[in-house]
Amino acid sequence: MASPLLSGSEVQWISAGVGFNCRNDGRARDEYRPLEVELGVLAQATGSARVRLGETDVIVGVKAEIGSPDPDRPNCGRLNFAVECSPVASPAFRGRGGDELSGELARALERSMYPGPSGRGGGLDLSVLSIVTGKTCWVVYVDVLLLNIGGNLHDAVSVAAKAALADARIPRVEVVPGEDPTDEPDYEVDDDPSQAQRLDTAGLPLCVTVSQIGRHCVVDLTTEEELCSSASLQVAVNSSGAVCGLTKRRQQGLDPSVMLEMVEVAQRAAAKLHAALADTLAAQQAQQMAVG
């Protein structure tokens, strides 16, 4: 990522501001920038969302296709996460330059939202995506596009992915068995949008990145602030406060007690973020109903 150069005195200024609990843009340490969520922005997608968190701008398109289930989980659908770092956002993403970041973001989403090998721990009930056990299911592709990078990408991407999944409407499918029992059955996809079902996304977690600047835990860093942070912990938290994924980033080590404090800060921040997102989703969906 092309990052701005920061002088020693700028670093000192930002760190001191964090110490006084008054950051450059006037926020407190545990405060997010204003979050804007827009649903249904892509006509071609099953569900879509655009999320702006300060300067950070990401767009997520969800597409559902009929495919075959994972042999380990024959009665579940599949979710697939991909992130594209467009060179629009930063010239450093030219060629294969964005691969590392996109892999990191996609795996972080997958780890927090998709169940592990035992089939437990995921936030979505994937069995609703099954069509014929062991044969066919919905494969839901969640494609994230980064439009502008203004700090705290992980959190913005997780909010956008959840919003887009909440926006998605999966059509009803009727399985018509062939005349001969050995024939492949036919699938009739109901094109009536009012019959379509929404996914229950209430259990999906949101990611909160808590970073250490000086001795303080700070959330939602801007690009400049990210350069002043020595260690950060990404915590995925679901709406009931359970931790669904942890990853430590950046070079410095962390004291175990500070680490537990960061998890608590993340749980508090996530509760607010979940509430804010739920309000926006409800408002936008009501608006869509009124228009549609």
Closest approach, Cβ 80 to another protein, in A, equals: 12
3 state SS of 234: strand
Nearer to another protein, 19 or 134 (CB): 134
Nearest CB to another protein, comparing residues 268 and 272: 268
45 vs 144 by CB, closer to another protein: 144
Distance of closest approach, residue 238 Cβ to another protein, in angstroms: 7
Shortest distance, position 243 Cβ to another protein, whole Å = 4
- 212-216 contacts, C-beta under 8 A, 24 or more apart: 212/252, 212/254, 212/258, 212/262, 213/14, 213/15, 213/18, 214/15, 214/18, 214/19, 216/18, 216/19, 216/29
Query: Would you tell me the crossing angle of helices 153-167 and 256-291 to the nearest 10 degrees?
Result: 40
CB of 234 to another protein, least distance (A): 10
Q: Which two tokens stand for residue 29?
A: 């340490």
Question: Tokens representing 144?
Answer: 């994230």
| Between 36 and 264, CB nearer to another protein | 264
Q: If DSSP codes are grouped into helix, strand and coil, which group holds residue 73?
A: coil
Q: How far is the CB of 245 from another protein (least distance, A)?
A: 6
Give every CB contact of residue 189 below 8 A, 6+ residues apart in sequence: 171, 172, 173
Q: Which is nearer to another protein, 44 or 118 (CB)?
A: 118
d(CA 194, CA 28): 44
- Max CA distance (Å), the chain: 78
Residues linked to residue 56 through DSSP beta bridges, in sequence order: 53
- Cβ-based nearer residue to another protein, 47 or 245: 245
Site residues (vs another protein, CB under 8 A): 71-72, 74, 100, 103-104, 107, 111, 116-118, 120-121, 231, 233, 238, 241-256, 259-260, 263-264, 267
- Minimum CB distance to another protein, residue 254 (Å): 5
Q: Pick from 247, 214, 244: which is nearest to 229 by CA? A: 214
Shortest Å distance, C-beta 125 to another protein: 14
Residue closer to another protein by CB (options 57, 226) is 226
